Amino acid sequence: MENLICVTQWEKDTFLPNGRFEKAQSLVGPAVCVDPTSLNGGENWTDLLEKSNPEVIIAAWKTPTIPENYKEIAPRLKYVCYLPGSIRNLIPRAAIEQGLQVTSWSSSISRTISECALLMVLACMRRVRYWTEEMHFNRGWKPYEFDTLSLFERRVGVHGLGLISQGFVNLIKPFGNEVSAFSPSVPDSIFEDLGVKRSPSLESLFSDNDVIVELAALTPKTKGIVTEDLLRSMPKDAAFVNLGRGAVVDEDALAQVARERPDIQVALDVFSVEPLPLDSPFRGMKNVFLLPHLGGPTIDRRRDAADHGLENVRRFLAGEELVEPYNLNMYDRAT
Amino acid sequence: MENLICVTQWEKDTFLPNGRFEKAQSLVGPAVCVDPTSLNGGENWTDLLEKSNPEVIIAAWKTPTIPENYKEIAPRLKYVCYLPGSIRNLIPRAAIEQGLQVTSWSSSISRTISECALLMVLACMRRVRYWTEEMHFNRGWKPYEFDTLSLFERRVGVHGLGLISQGFVNLIKPFGNEVSAFSPSVPDSIFEDLGVKRSPSLESLFSDNDVIVELAALTPKTKGIVTEDLLRSMPKDAAFVNLGRGAVVDEDALAQVARERPDIQVALDVFSVEPLPLDSPFRGMKNVFLLPHLGGPTIDRRRDAADHGLENVRRFLAGEELVEPYNLNMYDRAT
């Protein structure tokens, strides 16, 4: 009976540097440390679970899926500390139903996504996508007449006022913008603390702001909620930045509107299909700034996720309450 | 005897929108408004100066040079309100020596350059240059192992603590970085007010910080002061961002160091030769982010420069002191 640490070398190096791996080992006691790439495509996973029968597993992207019947295979298993974010591939819903405790990086890394939102907004303002092509591939320089914008004096609208948006609002404080948000489930007190105005509707969020940051959670209700009409209603020179979930947006309409309106700047870190298809219309568009879903955490801040995870391991073993454990509702909202 | 407003249509549209042109007209009284592109390459300029004999000229990029013997041609001329920044092409040193008063946009637009510094720093952190090429031209996506950094927790060093740097320090306040600056001529009180540490030497600025922002003024003393040795001393994964003046840096050495050390990220908005030569080694480099000297002001904030200029016109006509007028010392430092 030994606990399990199942991470690749790169995951170990990036999540658990500077003594964190040793700390993890000493926390979970006698532990099997296994590189999941050695598990023969997951074939040996069930054997390993059965033999080690762990109470705690520290897991990452390459850890094979926990079987639905994990209670038969590893009856002592109570807690999976997943170092990254989205647990859907690792944990079947049935395991949560059976009481398996699971945590992920949750809010511990949200500040780096807020930072990426700021980058994407500023990149839209200066047409970074366009100038990168001009300077590097067209041997260009600015002509006498050109177009750049500043974030100063722009109206900023945020769709979804969760922790990432709240962090973003704090990062742009020195710019002194008027900020609105559409986020029906978030209470007035949070709006007031942040100095953010409540937008009466998604329609007004899009038509009355110069910069729109899309950070709504993906739910059956929000799927495709950013429609062609909303996108078309954006004012001249508006910027639309999505680093929430791609499927919240009608992406075909977004590509169409961006094509018809070169004044609009778009910045996307997330897509309904990832990796972004090779023939995506966004590829090559001069007013669409693209990143391959690297909003956060940045590699150097994965250690923050591990610190959060290891604190949860400590709490679990001390019989204390976990920080941000998954429940079924959260599981269903996760992507 | 009529004052002169000499701006192109685009300059009028961008500097003087929303009633500012009319305000300029009413301030300077009976005025000749002339588009300098109609002046036959400047040939008719002396005639125009002689005929209108203005006391005040409102000028911009395309206004022809004020003749050294302006006192013979237009003896009433006392004040040139130059809406943009660098007066060297418009005003000969001899005119300042003879007492011509001149103002430019000076500090009125520095906040947008600070904003560009923030953009360039964040772009280095996420390798925007690299990902833009991958996503748009190589139909790429992030591999399992990749590299991004966050500004959080990084040590930031600024070379030159003038108004643009001060604005930059304020914009990054929410990130909570430890910030140092090397700027011998700036008094301790400004460091203290900003919470910035004084770096003991340029050597320590480069070797002890993860992000170095180059904003030193170009003077005979600072020309080429950023040497190969300094650039080589930057720590692993450092970012070097220049939006001051290109000639402060040994650019050949910078290209060489960037080539040898792909961990280093470089972002450049300014160059010793502008427009950037077609065969510049920086073009095409995957760890060098390039902009064509568009740090500031952004086009939408040119109106701030005009507000500053028109306030100076008002002051001049009211016999009040000008805000930030040029003297010979400033003239010699300008580029």
pLDDT of residue B33: 95
Examine the pLDDT at A212 and tell me if it is beyond 70. yes
CB contact under 8 A, B150 and A300: yes
As a three-state string, the secondary structure of chain A is CCEEEECCHHHHHHHCCCCHHHHHHHHHCCEEEECHHHCCCCCCHHHHHHHHCCCEEEECCCCCCCCCCHHHHCCCCCEEEECCCCHHHCCCHHHHHCCCEEECCHHHHHHHHHHHHHHHHHHHHHCHHHHHHHHHHCCCCCCCCCCCCCCCCCEEEEECCCHHHHHHHHHCHHHCCEEEEECCCCCHHHHHHHCCEECCCHHHHHHCCCEEEECCCCCCCCCCCECHHHHHCCCCCCEEEECCCHHHECHHHHHHHHHHCCCCEEEECCCCCCCCCCCCCCCCCCCEEECCCCCCCCHHHHHHHHHHHHHHHHHHHCCCCCCCCCCHHHHHHCC
pLDDT in tens, A91-113: 999 999 999 999 999 999 999 99
pLDDT average, residue stretch A288-297: 97
- Structure confidence at residue A35 (pLDDT): 96
Domains B3-105+299-333 and B109-290 fall in the same CATH topology: yes
Token code pair at residue A173 = 């404080």
- The order of strands in the sheet holding B56-59 is B31-34, B3-6, B56-59, B79-82, B101-103
SS3 B54: coil
The pLDDT assigned to B26 comes to 96
Which among A139, A170, A278 has CB closest to B278?
A139
**Assigned token pair, B109:** 């637009």
Span of A162-171, B31-40, B293-302 with lowest mean pLDDT: B31-40
- Contact assignment for B128 to A147 by CB distance below 8 Å: no
Between chain A and chain B, the number of residue pairs with CB atoms below 8 A apart is 171
Q: Which residues of A169-191 are buried (b: 16+ CB within 10 A; e: fewer)?
A: bebbebbebebbbbbeebeeebb
| pLDDT higher at B29 or A155 | A155
Question: Which of B147, B291, B301 is nearest residue A299 as measured by Cβ atoms?
Answer: B147
Note which residues in 227-246 of chain A have CB less than 8 A from chain B.
237
* Spatial separation of the C-alpha atoms in residues B116 and A131, rounded to whole Å: 14
- Position of tokens 């290109």? B246
User: Residue B278 CB: number of other CB atoms within 10 A?
Assistant: 9
pLDDT for the residue B207: 98
Convert the pLDDT of each residue in B221-257 to its tens digit. 999 999 999 999 999 999 999 999 999 999 999 999 9
Q: What's the rounded Cα separation, in Å, for the pair A296 and A163? A: 13
Instruction: From chain B, pick out residues whose CB is under 8 angstroms from the CB of A132.
Output: 128-129, 132-133, 289-290
pLDDT at A30 over 80: yes
Both tokens of B261, joined, read: 């050390």
Provide mean pLDDT across the span A189-199: 98
Q: Are A54 and A74 in contact (CB under 8 A)?
A: yes
The residues spanned by each domain of chain A are 3-105+299-333, 110-290
| B153 three-class SS | coil
Q: Do A119 and B122 touch (CB under 8 A)?
A: yes
pLDDT at A330: 87
Q: At what angle do helices A128-137 and B128-137 cross, to 10 degrees?
A: 80
- Confidence at residue A160, expressed as pLDDT on a 0 to 100 scale: 97
With an 8 Å Cβ cutoff, are B174 and A170 in contact? yes
Q: How close is the nearest chain A Cα to the Cα of B97, in Å? A: 31
Report the top-level CATH class of B109-290: alpha beta
Q: Mean of the pLDDT values across residues A2-8? A: 96
Sort strands B79-82 and B56-59 into parallel, antiparallel or unpaired: parallel
Question: What is the CATH superfamily name and number for domain B3-105+299-333?
Answer: NAD(P)-binding Rossmann-like Domain (3.40.50.720)
Of B109, B113, B96, B98, give the one whose Cα is nearest residue B330: B96
Chain segment B41-69, per-residue pLDDT in tens: 777 999 999 999 999 999 999 999 999 99
Domain A110-290: homologous superfamily in CATH: NAD(P)-binding Rossmann-like Domain (3.40.50.720)
pLDDT at position B335 is: 59
User: How many whole angstroms separate alpha carbon A271 and alpha carbon A246?
Assistant: 4
What pLDDT is recorded for position B332?
83
∠ CA B47-B50-B52, rounded to 5°: 105
Which residues, at least 6 apart from A229, have a Cβ–Cβ distance to it below 8 Å?
A: none
User: Is B144 an interface residue toward A (CB < 8 Å)?
Assistant: yes
Task: Give CA–CA dist B257/B230, Å, rounded.
Answer: 10
